[in-house]
């Protein structure tokens, strides 16, 4: 049995007042979301606050550098995140791949650095609209997945995968539960074939891309969808709680 997870990616949104409100609301909601790993991913500047206030959830960084330390102005190391008590790190989000030169090689280095310090990467993969239209979705997802995991040895549970079709991110156009399930099952089959049955069985695969309070329950009811990576709807506290409850009801 895989424990469901719902992660809220604020991106470059929110400030300390919003962080306080979110922490209080999630902590008050603890009893009804106890069966879910709820993860809050604020901007780096608010990670310490979110982490310090955490009772019913864990925190995640939206990015990290793979080097241990050094002359990398503006960057944060895995050791620094660990020092704060942060447990998860988003790696390979499509916005970082597109806008901040997170190539497959950089993503693989980040995954390895995060796992080396026993934090858990939430590895984001997913195809563009053009790739889907060209029938390349499976191939793209497999390549991103195996490339990102090439430098690590997995036994199961060290990494969370988030399938985020780029055409569904921030567009209001959610993949249908059937479309998402098809790719999730494929990702699990690739993990089984290329790594091991145990890793395939233990790896949580989240769906991301316009998950909302209205669509979460049906998406999460799919066999290979173990929760969600939520962007826009994680900025609406009531909606985010509804999405966490949908995962708790599985
Ligand atoms: P969205 O973002 O829910 O706003 O589509 C998801 C993500 O980018 O992780």
92-127 pLDDT per residue, tens: 999 999 999 999 999 999 999 999 999 999 999 999
pTM reported for the whole predicted model: 0.98
216 CA → ligand 1 middle, Å: 13
Tell me if 92 CB under 6 Å of ligand 1: no
Output the 3-class SS for 94-136: HHHHHHCCCCHHHHHHHHHHHHHCCCEEEEEECCCHHHHHCCC
71 CA → ligand 1 middle, Å: 31
87 CA → ligand 1 middle, Å: 20
Domain range annotation of the chain: 5-248
Whether pLDDT at 1 is above 90: no
Residue 192 burial by Cβ neighbours in a 10 Å radius (0-12, 13-18, 19+)? middle
Q: Which pLDDT does position 250 carry in this prediction? A: 85
235 Cβ contact partners less than 8 Å away, ≥ 6 residues apart: 8, 10, 13, 14, 18
Tell me if 126 CB under 6 Å of ligand 1: no
| Residue ID of nearest Cα to ligand 1 atom 6 | 231
Q: Which atom of ligand 1 is nearest to the CA of 168?
A: 5
d(CA 133, CA 135): 5
Tell me if 239 CB under 6 Å of ligand 1: no
Mean pLDDT to the nearest integer, 243-249: 95
The total of other beta-carbon atoms located within 10 Å of residue 142's CB is 17
d(CA 119, CA 224): 23
Q: Which CATH number fits domain 5-248: 3.30.460.80, 3.40.50.280, 3.20.20.70, 3.40.50.10470?
A: 3.20.20.70
151-204 pLDDT per residue, tens: 999 999 999 999 999 999 988 888 999 999 999 999 999 999 999 999 999 999
d(CA 77, CA 69): 7
7-38 pLDDT per residue, tens: 999 999 999 999 999 999 999 998 889 899 99
Q: Which atom of ligand 1 is nearest to the CA of 11?
A: 8
Task: Work out the widest C-alpha separation in the chain, in whole angstroms.
Answer: 47
């Amino acid at each position: 049995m895989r424990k469901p997870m719902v992660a809220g990616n604020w991106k470059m949104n929110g400030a300390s007042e919003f962080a306080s409100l979110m922490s209080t609301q999630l902590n008050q909601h603890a009893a009804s979301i106890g069966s879910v790993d709820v993860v809050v991913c604020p901007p780096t500047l608010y990670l310490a606050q979110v982490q310090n206030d955490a009772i019913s959830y864990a925190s995640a960084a939206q990015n990290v550098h793979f080097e241990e330390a050094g002359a990398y102005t503006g960057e944060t190391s895995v050791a620094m995140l660990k020092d704060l008590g942060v447990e998860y790190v988003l790696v390979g989000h499509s916005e970082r791949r597109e806008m901040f030169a997170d190539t497959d090689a950089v993503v693989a280095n980040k995954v390895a650095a995060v796992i080396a310090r026993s934090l858990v990467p939430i590895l984001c993969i997913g195809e563009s609209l053009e790739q889907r239209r060209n029938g390349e979705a499976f191939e793209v997802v497999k390549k991103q997945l195996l490339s990102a995991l090439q430098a690590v040895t997995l036994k199961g549970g060290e990494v969370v995968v988030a399938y985020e079709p780029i055409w569904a991110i921030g567009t209001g156009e959610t993949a249908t539960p059937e479309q998402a399930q098809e790719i999730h099952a494929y990702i699990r089959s690739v993990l089984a074939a290329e790594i091991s049955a145990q890793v395939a069985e233990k790896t949580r695969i989240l769906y991301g891309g316009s998950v909302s309070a209205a669509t979460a329950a049906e998406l999460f009811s799919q066999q290979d969808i173990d929760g969600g990576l939520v962007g826009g709807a994680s900025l609406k506290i009531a909606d985010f709680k509804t999405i966490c409850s949908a995962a708790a009801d599985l």
